[in-house]
Amino acid sequence: MTTKRFSIGYALLLKKQKSFIQDSLVNLAKSRGIDLVKIDTEKPLVDQGPFDCVLHKLYGEEWRKQLQDYLILNPNAIVVDFPEAIERLHNRISMLDVVSEIEELDNDLRDGETASFGIPKQVVVYEPEKLSINETASFGEGLNLKFPVIAKPLVADGSAKSHKMLLVFSNEGFEKLKSPTVVQEFVNHGGVIFKVYVVGKYVKCVKRKSLPDIDEEKLDCLGGSLSFSQVSNLTSDERNDDRYYKMLDLEDAAMPPMSLIVNIARGLRKAMKLHLFNFDVIRDTKVGNRYLVIDINYFPGYAKMPGYESVMTDFFWDVLNKKEARLFNCEKEVMKLVDSNGECGEDTESHNVSSA
């Protein structure tokens, strides 16, 4: 008896292909009866395949239309994930607004203690350059943001420009900014950021070095801004700059309660209707048991996760066998959760959890 083989067509930019489509992943998937096939983006999607699943990280109206046309001809195919859901993460305000949708979660921990979560205070400034010449500029009525703040481009589309962020110590630090900017209050967090990878029901939490704490007493001596390529990584020169910071040994940093992390991951997954994403969490050192979600990214660098090949292959298997699937209704353009029996319903399965 011949076992059915599945075909997953992937449409990824070259950089993502090189990092994600490793021989180790391709071979492991193949051993499970899953063939990973590159989609030729120069040709219409409807002329390729057929694929049991389309895995992608492409954007734009043309690609969205291609996916819709493909699903009309192949109604049983699965798309991971739908552009409408992914687009929410391209705006740093709508991205974190989703956190408010899951604040009703039960956050009682197993040891009897409690923990809370949310997001830092933030506001959109559409003309940030004007803040540089106005010493009394207000970030937003009722927010009471205090320096230092992190200035992030409003658009988060994965481009190099969208990753250009500033740690701003005074109004002068806004002088080079021209485009709409999210101004987010900087929260001392022990120099550690927790990166949480979500692959369907699988949750992996790791800790990484981040911006070290800032002594409030030294703020008067700091002016302008400090540039860094990503909020969790200083440049090599800045890492060695002891005028501002000293780095923390990651071994000293306690992991957040996994029950809380899993609750957030599950809540985000259901609210955003996404399978593949990660989110960054920091611990507010002033509160201790208060955790803040500061960023959410679609289809992150999973190859950095140890053993990512088995995690992704298990996910592919579950998707292809309808345990982790979402169907697209071409008439109403809505997504529905599908349970292990292929029927629409709520996600009631437990999460596979890992931390490091």
Residue 110 burial (10 A CB sphere; 0-12, 13-18, 19+): exposed
Is 314 annotated as a binding-site member? Answer: no
Is 229 annotated as a binding-site member? Answer: no
What are the start-end ranges of the E strands in 217-259?
Answer: 225-228
What are the start-end ranges of the E strands in the chain?
Answer: 6-11, 34-38, 53-56, 78-80, 116-118, 122-125, 149-153, 165-168, 181-185, 192-199, 202-209, 225-228, 276-283, 290-298, 326-329, 334-337, 352-355
Is 185 annotated as a binding-site member? Answer: yes
Is 318 annotated as a binding-site member? Answer: no
Beta bridge partners of 54: 9, 79
Is 195 annotated as a binding-site member? Answer: yes
Is 174 annotated as a binding-site member? Answer: no
CA distance 270 to 267: 5
Is 76 annotated as a binding-site member? Answer: no
The amino acid occupying position 340 is S
Is 144 annotated as a binding-site member? Answer: no
CB 123 within 8 A of CB 154: no
Sign of the C-alpha dihedral computed for residues 165, 288, 298 and 21 taken in this order = positive
Task: List the one residue out of 334, 345, 328 whose CA is nearest residue 75.
Answer: 328
DSSP 89-117: GGBHHHHHHHHHTTTTS--B-TTS-B-EE
The amino acid occupying position 70 is Y
Q: How many CA atoms lie within 13 A of 118 on its CB side?
A: 9
Is 351 annotated as a binding-site member? Answer: no
Is 49 annotated as a binding-site member? Answer: no
Is 16 annotated as a binding-site member? Answer: yes
CB 165 within 8 A of CB 92: no
Is 152 annotated as a binding-site member? Answer: yes
Is 186 annotated as a binding-site member? Answer: yes
Residue with tokens 């604040």: 103
Is 295 annotated as a binding-site member? Answer: yes
- Phi first, then psi, for residue 128 (nearest 5°) are -65, -25
Is 163 annotated as a binding-site member? Answer: yes
Is 175 annotated as a binding-site member? Answer: no
Is 210 annotated as a binding-site member? Answer: yes
Is 189 annotated as a binding-site member? Answer: yes
Is 301 annotated as a binding-site member? Answer: yes
CB 315 within 8 A of CB 324: yes
Residues flagged as binding site: 16, 57, 92, 152, 163, 184-195, 210, 280, 295, 297, 301
Residues making up the binding site for 1D-myo-inositol 1,3,4-trisphosphate = 16, 163, 195, 297, 301
Binding residues for Mg(2+): 280, 295, 297
- Binding site as annotated, residues for ATP: 92, 152, 184-195, 210
